[in-house]
Amino acid sequence: MAVSGLLGLRLERRANASRAMLLVTPPLAVLLTVLSGAVLFAALGFDPVKALMSYFVAPISTRYGIGELAVKATPLAMIGIGLALGFRGNVWNIGAEGQLTLGAICAGGLALAFHGQEGPWLLPLMMLAGAAGGLAYGAIPAWLRTRFNANEILTSLMLTYVGTLLLSYLVTGPWKDPDGFNFPESRLFNDAALLPIILDGTRMHLGAPLALLAVVVGWVIVARTLIGFQIKVVGLTPIAAGYAGFSQARTIWFTLLLSGGLAGLAGAIEVAGPIGQLQPSISPGYGFTAIIVAFLGRLHPVGVLLAALLMALSYLGGEHAQIELGLPLALTGVFQGMLLFFLLASDFLVHYRLRRVAPPGVRAARGRVGEARRRWTSFP
């Protein structure tokens, strides 16, 4: 252990993961990110305090700003819940962006198909179509993984590029607005295909309560159900899952369909909510940011909700700081990446603790991950 060894400390695995650390480390990571942000702002030649205020405080100091926070947190929480469940089971769906795109295509296609003949049935149908689209798109990596053992990380990601290109084709080709001066956009949806605003003076729409509902459902799954337990066991120890009679394939299918469906629903909400039409780009990378949301939320639905709000703030802050201070928009991505790094780095405090070094020879004798189990049983 190069680093800790230098400090005269030794890393030791905790017998029980530290619950305190589990709760303390996310705020710690946020704090470190903010501090690094200050340094970064200073390096870019901005007053760090002013820049931080403009980034993290100003955007949500108005009613409208709060509404925007909800608008951005909605897809993040919704997708994050699904991804967190998958990550618990070691199912790495990182193609949520693609599933979101497919959801948007399905919902948007419906809105365009029934343009001019809408009824109150249209919106629910769009949401269902969006979820179905994302779910079907999530089914592809599930099938490839369970049938052919193909890595879902790579397949789901490749499908994201395919999905984005498909959307690009649709809005530049068959679904292009006939009166749109050749812009690559669909026509604007009619009101019946738009989610109603639920907070006056803001853009907060019906999607926000839907996301909250997803959080509650996610919590029930994680905390109360057999499938939630099953996902956890499959993620921790697949062999023990086989022993318990839990099917790994079933877990893969369930989590990919669920996370795909939720991402698709988020896509439907985006096009029926803040966007109101189909465009070549319907998401500023929500599907990828939701990965950070899932981890920052400790793969727990309640944590995911908080993390989604924080990440939504980072989007708002990025936009606000760009307008107000002329800070580059790319800072958002840097902040998000940094936050995840700090969280992962502090993670080791949950499972390990630092101890002062005992006489050096002792080290090799104990707890070696890998062979540890076998050795451990025979060691006094």
Task: Report the 10 Å Cβ neighbour count for 109.
Answer: 20
**Closest CB 144 distance from another protein, rounded Å:** 6
With respect to another protein, which residue has the nearer C-beta, 121 or 376?
A: 376
Return the number of the residue (126 or 252) whose C-beta is nearest another protein.
252
DSSP annotation of 272: I
Q: Are 78 and 259 in contact (CB under 8 A)?
A: no
**Burial tier of 126 (Cβ tally within 10 Å: 0-12, 13-18, 19+):** buried
Nearest Cα residue to 297 out of 193, 214, 183: 214
**Cβ distance to another protein smaller for residue 7 or 121:** 7
Closer to another protein by CB, 64 or 238: give it: 238
Name 352's bridge partners.
13
Q: Which residue, 199 or 367, is less far from another protein as judged by CB?
A: 367
Q: How far is CA 71 from CA 7, 199, 295, in A?
A: 46, 11, 21
Using a 10 angstrom Cβ sphere, with 0-12 exposed, 13-18 middle and 19 or more buried, the burial of residue 271 is: buried
Shortest distance in whole angstroms from residue 232 CB to another protein: 8
Nearer to another protein, 113 or 223 (CB): 223
Closest approach, Cβ 188 to another protein, in A, equals 23
Closer of 20 and 364 to another protein (Cβ)? 364
Q: What contacts 8, CB < 8 A, 6 or more positions away?
A: 356, 357
In the complex, least distance from residue 194 CB atom to another protein, rounded to whole angstroms: 27
Tell me whether residue 64 or residue 229 sits nearer to another protein (CB atom).
229
Q: Side-chain half-sphere of 21: how many Cα atoms within 13 Å?
A: 15
Decide whether 253 or 335 has the Cβ nearer to another protein. Answer: 335
Q: Find the angle CA(97)-CA(248)-CA(268) to the nearest 5 degrees.
A: 25
- Minimum CB distance to another protein, residue 331 (Å): 6
Which residue type is seen at 199? Answer: L
Q: Tell me how far, at minimum, the Cβ of 371 lies from another protein, in Å.
A: 4
What is the closest distance, in whole angstroms, from the C-beta atom of residue 89 to another protein in the complex?
A: 13
Q: How far is the CB of 48 from another protein (least distance, A)?
A: 16
Residue 288: how many other CB atoms lie within 10 Å: 19
Minimum CB separation of residue 45 from another protein in Å reads: 13
Q: What angle do CA 26, 28, 33 make, to 5 degrees?
A: 95
Minimum Å gap between C-beta 61 and another protein is 25
How far, in whole angstroms, is CA 141 from its chain's centroid?
Answer: 18
Spatial neighbors of 238 by CB under 8 A, at least 6 apart, are 90, 248
Please give the C-alpha separations between residue 157 and each of 152, 160, 177, in angstroms, as whole numbers: 8, 5, 29
User: Length of the chain, please?
Assistant: 380
Residue 37 to residue 30: CA distance in whole angstroms? 10
Asked if 185 contacts 277 with a C-beta cutoff of 8 angstroms, the reply is yes
Dist. CA 321–CA 50, nearest whole Å: 10
Residue with smaller CB distance to another protein, 196 or 360 = 360
